[in-house]
Amino acid sequence: MIWEQELAALKEKGLYRKLRSVETLNDDGQALVNGQKMLMFASNNYLGLAQDQRVIEASIQATERFGAGSTGSRLTTGHSIIHEALEGKLAQFKQTEAAIVLNTGYMANMAVLTTIVGEGDLILSDAGNHASIIDGCRLSRAKTVIYSHADLDDLELKLQGHQGFKKTLIVTDGVFSMDGDIAPLPGIVNLAKRYGALIMMDDAHATGVLGKDGRGTSEHFGLKGKVDIEMGTLSKAIGVEGGFVAGSRSLIDYLLNKARPFIFSTALSPGVVAGASAAVDIIMTEPERRVRLQNMSRHLYEELTSLGYTVTGGETPILGIICGKPEQATLLSKELHKHGIYAPAIRPPTVPDGTSRIRLTLMSQHRERHIDHVISAFKAIRANDTDSVDKTLPIG
DSSP string, 136-152: HHHHH-SEEEEE-TT-H
Q: Give yes or no for a contact between 41 and 362, defined as CB atoms under 8 angstroms apart.
A: yes
Is 168 or 177 the residue whose CB approaches ligand PMP more closely? 177
Beta strand spans in 159-297 (E): 168-173, 198-202, 229-233, 243-247
Instruction: State the minimum distance, in angstroms, from the CB of residue 355 to ligand PMP.
Output: 17
* 269 near ligand PMP, rule: CB under 6 A: no
Q: Which amino acid is located at 375 in the chain? A: I
Is 126 or 303 the residue whose CB approaches ligand PMP more closely? 126
Nearest alpha carbon to residue 210 among 128, 133, 293, 286:
293
Q: What is the CA radius of gyration of the chain?
A: 21
Q: Using CB under 6 A, which of 106, 221, 244, 378 touches ligand PMP?
A: 106
Tell me, residue by residue from 202 to 221, as one string, x for binding to ligand PMP by CB under 6 A and - for no binding.
x-xx----------------
Q: Restricting to residues 4-43, which ones interact with ligand PMP according to CB under 6 A? A: none
Q: Using CB under 6 A, which of 80, 172, 233, 361 touches ligand PMP?
A: 233
DSSP string, 180-205: --B--HHHHHHHHHHHT-EEEEE-TT
Is 103 or 356 the residue whose CB approaches ligand PMP more closely? 103
Determine how β-strand 122-126 pairs with β-strand 168-173. parallel
**SS3 of residue 218 by DSSP:** helix
Nearest alpha carbon to residue 126 among 43, 248, 217, 210:
217
* 181 near ligand PMP, rule: CB under 6 A: no
* 179 near ligand PMP, rule: CB under 6 A: no
* 104 near ligand PMP, rule: CB under 6 A: yes
Instruction: State the minimum distance, in angstroms, from the CB of residue 120 to ligand PMP.
Output: 26
* 114 near ligand PMP, rule: CB under 6 A: no
Instruction: State the minimum distance, in angstroms, from the CB of residue 164 to ligand PMP.
Output: 30
Is 130 or 370 the residue whose CB approaches ligand PMP more closely? 130
Instruction: State the minimum distance, in angstroms, from the CB of residue 173 to ligand PMP.
Output: 5
The distance of Cα 244 from the centroid of its chain, to the nearest Å, equals 13
Is 25 or 377 the residue whose CB approaches ligand PMP more closely? 25
Q: Using CB under 6 A, which of 126, 173, 179, 219 touches ligand PMP?
A: 173
Q: Which amino acid is located at 337 in the chain? A: H
Which residues are marked as active site?
177, 205, 236
Q: Which residue is nearest to ligand PMP (CB)?
A: 105
* 130 near ligand PMP, rule: CB under 6 A: yes
Q: Give yes or no for a contact between 158 and 149, defined as CB atoms under 8 angstroms apart.
A: no
Instruction: State the minimum distance, in angstroms, from the CB of residue 187 to ligand PMP.
Output: 20
- CA-to-CA distance for 116 and 103, rounded, in angstroms? 19
End-to-end CA distance of the chain: 45
* 177 near ligand PMP, rule: CB under 6 A: yes
**SS3 of residue 30 by DSSP:** strand
- CA-to-CA distance for 360 and 342, rounded, in angstroms? 9
Residue ranges binding ligand PMP (CB under 6 A)? 104-106, 109, 130, 132, 173, 177, 202, 204-205, 233, 235, 243
